[in-house]
Amino acid sequence: AEATSESDSSWRPGWLGGKKADKAAKKEAKKKAKEAKKKAEEASKDPYADEPTRLPALRVRTAKPFNAETPTEILADQIITPTDLFYVRHHLPVPKVDPDTYELTVEGEGLRTLKLSLEDLKTKFKKHTITATLQCSGNRRHEMKEIKEVKGLDWDVGAISTAKFSGVRLCDVLAHAGIDYESAEGEGVHHVEFVGLDKDGMTGTGYAASIPVDKAVDPHADVLLAYEMNGEVLPADHGYPVRVVVPGVTGARSVKWVSHIVAGAEESTSQWQQHDYKSFSPNVDWHNVDWTSAPSLQETPVTSAICQPRPGAIIQSEEVTVRGYAFSGGGKDIIRVDVSADSGKNWTTATLHKIPQKAGRAWAWTLWEAEVPVPKEREPSGTVQICAKATDASYNSQPDNVAPIWNLRGVVNNAWHRVQVNVGEEGA
């Protein structure tokens, strides 16, 4: 066998010293230099130069990567957030994806590997539509920062929006690849990972996150691979051409520009799965955090926020109109919102506005409104504290205060939302 290979040295690569070694080595060096030059050019070029244009009305938190809230003024105006005012939460530059060459790979333990074009997705599977609220894990982080410093975007109450998403059900695609609840158990598949086309120019690492397999294969969990948003083509800022929508689960798992779906025994090893989106006890800080001690955020707790009046607003002295949103993860409906204008001593039950949703599959938020009597007794500063708390279908309600749920990453702040306002003089 050795003789044979020696007698046919022409096939050998240059570094092994074949006949064409010298020539090949030169060619290789030239190619490498060219690649290095191209890389240097790309590195010097702003990776955010070709980002989509956005409405100035968005409340920008960081420009690169782009992160912006839905304007608070319109947040609780309608169930469906206008697409161009839907909050944007990017970890990396927005990738430009050619729909003609786009390919979704579905693979993993015990799966038949699928390579699906955008056309395949649109024609080979049934189209489904859900109305779902997505919320960044860091929504309402600002209030945590006021207790003690945390690392993360300084979100107010607007890192949450609702849209009608259309696409194919993840469970249908996974079934096509040969996996369901029973076979997953047999194959030792516990998680399904989504990998996006958004990549870090330095490391080449793409955004990735995973969800438990039982959620992925459950037809009633309504997980979508969406290619439409509010009846139109998904915009680049929201994952064109295809994004994952995991309703009732923290936004970080709804991976945009999804290119790979991987079923396996373990969770995604990405930092977004292993570190960033977890909460810890207030006694845990950067010096003593054990990232493995908490599970990754999936379904989210019950929360609410007051969108009107805004902090510092001047309200009338008799009654104040309070409006906002409430939401709970895991498909739990909101059953009640209570509003107080005396820091939580007396409560007014709000009127709820919802869309019809199936039992246990309430993926969209609830908007609410209450006329709340303004107390005669004011705080020493002359102000009044309005607070709101929601209760969901499992009778979970919000914790009273932020401090006891403070965590070093400032995620899932779902304490009562409190807004301090000034009472105007009679006729002012």
The residues binding Mo ion (CB under 5 A) are 89, 136-137, 251-252
Q: CB neighbours of 295 closer than 8 A, spacing ≥ 6? A: 278
For a copy of itself, how many residues bind (rule: CB under 8 A)?
47
Of 300 and 308, which has the nearer Cβ to a copy of itself? Answer: 300
- What six digits make up the tokens of 190? 């516990």
Instruction: Name which position in 54, 336, 353, 354 contacts a copy of itself (CB under 8 A).
Output: 336
Count CB atoms within 10 A of the CB of residue 228.
17
Could you identify the residue written with the tokens 């030792």? 188
Site for a copy of itself contains 297 (CB under 8 A): yes
Query: CA-CA distance, 97 to 217, in Å (whole number)?
Result: 27
In this structure, the strands spanning 334-340 and 348-349 are antiparallel
| Contacting range for a copy of itself; rule: CB under 8 A; set: 109-117, 172-180, 235-243, 400-408 | 400-408
For residues 338 and 366, is the Cβ–Cβ distance under 8 A? no
Partner from Mo ion, a copy of itself, none binding residue 136, C-beta < 5-8 Å depending on class: Mo ion
Q: CB neighbours of 298 closer than 8 A, spacing ≥ 6? A: 211, 212, 215, 249, 250, 253, 329
Least distance to a copy of itself from the beta carbon of 126, Å?
15
Query: CA-CA distance, 241 to 33, in Å (whole number)?
Result: 34
Of 158 and 251, which has the nearer Cβ to Mo ion? Answer: 251
Site for a copy of itself contains 128 (CB under 8 A): no
Query: CA-CA distance, 241 to 262, in Å (whole number)?
Result: 19
Site for a copy of itself contains 124 (CB under 8 A): no
Of 129 and 271, which has the nearer Cβ to Mo ion? Answer: 271
Site for a copy of itself contains 198 (CB under 8 A): no
Site for a copy of itself contains 48 (CB under 8 A): no
Least distance to a copy of itself from the beta carbon of 323, Å?
18
Find out whether the peptide bond into 99 is cis, omega within 30 degrees of 0.
Answer: no
Site for a copy of itself contains 360 (CB under 8 A): yes
Residues 312-331 close enough to bind a copy of itself by CB under 8 A: 329-330
Instruction: Name which position in 201, 393, 420, 422 contacts a copy of itself (CB under 8 A).
Output: 393
Site for a copy of itself contains 347 (CB under 8 A): yes
Site for a copy of itself contains 354 (CB under 8 A): no
Instruction: Name which position in 37, 151, 220, 310 contacts a copy of itself (CB under 8 A).
Output: 220
Of 165 and 347, which has the nearer Cβ to a copy of itself? Answer: 347
Instruction: Name which position in 70, 139, 298, 366 contacts a copy of itself (CB under 8 A).
Output: 298
* Strands annotated E in 356-403: 366-373, 383-392
Site for a copy of itself contains 214 (CB under 8 A): yes
- b/e string for 146-171 if b means 16 or more Cβ within 10 A? ebeebebbebbbbbbbbbbbbbbbbb
DSSP secondary structure string for all residues of 261-322: EEEESS---SHIIIIIT----TT--TTT--GGGSPPP-B---EEEEEESPTT-EE-SSEEEE
Residues in contact with a copy of itself by CB under 8 A are 181, 190, 212, 214-215, 220, 279-284, 294-295, 297-302, 329-330, 335-336, 338, 344, 346-349, 359-360, 389, 391, 393-401, 404-405, 412, 414
